[in-house]
């Protein structure tokens, strides 16, 4: 006999659906502004794409950013130091945030593409260094001698995803957020042009406002609420090596792939972009390709110890930009999804914008 669906007691002001870095950040920001919040997560908090990524935080300049992507990136870049300090003050957890710097390189190719990238960064007012190849080799001796071009982003940062998520969960709990893991939303109850309740298998959860921040699962959640926003899962596979001492200490990028060193001697290699639905399996081909890529950039990694590999499902919005804000057809429903590879990076500014919109506060 199935259990009856019961109304959850003590309705909060806001229900956030999705407990990844976006949902946790929104819940923490709302609670810090005085709202009562319940966070519903179908699995365990922060264990999907948020945990799987490498934690790179590219730079930006709020004064000169012009495109929507550049403005979001720049505003988040400015928020990260403050968020890190506040989370540490509230929880005692160090999320590993640091501005370690990064380089972009190419092997055996034309420098034309990188010239255009350098011009784009400088047009945004971002600090870029362009040493000649001799200087580049002297500064980064671990690089393969076939590196033909590159530039340096001194202000690029990184954060330790698992630590940051642990800090957010702890900070949400400290601010009184009602954290509900293992609570998949299976439907919504409607009243006119509003959401009255979100239904989980055992309860109805009522609130004044609702936010869908379900990552790759957001499209199906929104369909249940009467909306269709084009978001699809894209698998990204990552390999973890251990190399002590570290042969390099800055992030190394080459197009869509990267090497991210951690202070404890680990190096993350990523990442693939695979349109395979909700399949999270690792494949021998992808893992082999990532290791070959790493060895081609830093030959010394051929002697590194293989530790493990994993994958995550990134939420890709087909228009290339995340969906952030209210859905006009439903008065009390907001969305924060489709960040693709930039969910962790853009989580602070996403949280601020969504919280301000819900609470009726001025936001840009």
Overall domain count for the chain: 2
Q: Decide if 2 is inside a domain.
A: no
Q: What is the CATH number of the domain that holds 138?
A: 3.30.9.10
pLDDT of residue 152: 98
What whole-number distance in Å separates Cα of residue 73 and Cα of residue 285? 33
Torsion angles phi and psi, residue 140, rounded to 5: -130, 70
Q: Residue 58 belongs to a domain with what CATH number?
A: 3.50.50.60
What pLDDT does residue 51 have? 83
- CA 272 – CA 261 distance, rounded (Å): 18
> What is the average pLDDT across 110-133?
92
Do 282 and 340 belong together in one domain?
no
Q: Burial letters for 274-300: b for 16+ Cβ neighbours within 10 Å, e otherwise?
A: beeeeebebbeebbebbbebbbbbbeb
Placement of tokens 């379900």 in the chain: 214
The per-residue pLDDT of the chain, averaged, comes to 94
Please tell me whether residues 181 and 84 are part of one structural domain: yes
What does the alpha-carbon distance between residue 258 and residue 19 come to, in Å, rounded to a whole number?
26
Check residue 208 and give its pLDDT. Answer: 97
Alpha-carbon distance of 125 to 147, in angstroms, equals 26
**Residue-wise pLDDT tens digits, 252-278:** 999 999 999 999 999 999 999 999 999
Please state, in angstroms and rounded to a whole number, the distance separating the CA atoms of residues 202 and 80: 38
Residues 341 and 196 in one domain: yes
Same domain, 173 and 294: no
Given pLDDT bands bounded at 50, 70 and 90, which one contains residue 3?
very low
| Structural domain boundaries, residue 280 | 102-155+232-317
Determine the pLDDT at residue 60. Answer: 97
Question: Within this chain, do residues 259 and 351 fall inside the same structural domain, yes or no?
Answer: no
**Could you tell me if 109 and 18 lie in one domain?**
no
- Whether 36 is in a domain gets the answer yes
Helices (H) and strands (E) in the chain — how many of each? 9, 19
- Cα gap 214→182, rounded to integer Å: 13
Please tell me whether residues 184 and 310 are part of one structural domain.
Answer: no
pLDDT tens track for 180-192: 999 999 999 998 8
Is a pLDDT exceeding 60 seen at residue 53?
Answer: yes
The pLDDT value given to residue 362: 60
Report helix, strand or coil for 306.
Answer: strand
The string of DSSP letters for 126-171 reads ---B---HHHHHHH-TTS-TTEEEEEEETT-EE--HHHHHHHHHHH
Q: Tell me how far apart the alpha carbons of residues 65 and 298 are, in angstroms, rounded to a whole number.
A: 33
Distance between first and last Cα of the chain: 51
% of the chain with per-residue pLDDT over 90: 88
Say whether both 300 and 168 belong to one domain.
Answer: no
* pLDDT exceeds 60 at position 4: no
């Amino acid at each position: 006999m199935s259990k009856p669906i019961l109304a959850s007691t003590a309705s909060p002001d806001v229900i956030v659906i999705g407990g990844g870095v976006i949902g946790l950040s929104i819940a923490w920001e709302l609670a810090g502004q005085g709202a009562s919040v319940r966070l519903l997560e179908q699995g365990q908090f922060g264990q999907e794409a948020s945990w799987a990524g490498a934690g790179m935080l590219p730079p930006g300049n709020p004064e000169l950013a012009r495109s929507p992507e550049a403005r979001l990136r720049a505003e988040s870049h400015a928020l990260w130091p403050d968020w890190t300090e506040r989370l540490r003050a509230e929880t005692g957890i160090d999320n590993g945030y640091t501005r370690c710097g990064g380089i972009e390189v190419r092997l055996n190719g034309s420098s034309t593409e990188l010239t255009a990238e350098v011009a784009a960064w400088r047009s945004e007012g971002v600090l870029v260094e362009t040493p000649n190849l001799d200087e580049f080799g002297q500064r980064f001796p671990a690089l393969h001698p076939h590196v033909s071009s590159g530039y340096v982003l001194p202000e690029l940062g990184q954060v330790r995803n698992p630590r940051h998520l642990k800090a957010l969960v702890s900070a949400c709990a400290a601010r009184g957020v009602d954290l509900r893991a293992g609570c998949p939303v299976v439907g919504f109850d409607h009243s006119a042009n509003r959401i009255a309740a979100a239904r989980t298998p055992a309860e109805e959860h009522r609130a004044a406002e609702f936010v869908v921040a379900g990552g790759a699962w957001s499209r199906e959640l929104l369909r249940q609420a009467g909306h269709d926003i084009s978001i699809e899962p894209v698998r990204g596979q990552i390999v973890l090596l251990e190399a002590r001492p570290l042969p390099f200490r800055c992030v190394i990028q080459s197009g869509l792939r990267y090497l991210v060193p951690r202070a404890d001697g680990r190096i993350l290699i990523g990442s693939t972009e695979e349109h395979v639905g909700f399949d999270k399996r690792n494949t021998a081909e992808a893992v082999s390709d990532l290791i070959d890529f790493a060895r081609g950039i830093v030959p010394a990694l051929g002697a590194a110890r293989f530790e493990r590999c994993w994958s995550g499902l990134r939420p890709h919005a087909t228009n290339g930009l995340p969906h952030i804000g209210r859905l006009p057809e439903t008065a009390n429903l907001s969305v924060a999804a489709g960040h693709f590879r930039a969910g962790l990076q853009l989580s602070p500014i996403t949280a601020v914008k969504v919280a301000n919109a819900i609470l009726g506060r001025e936001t840009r």
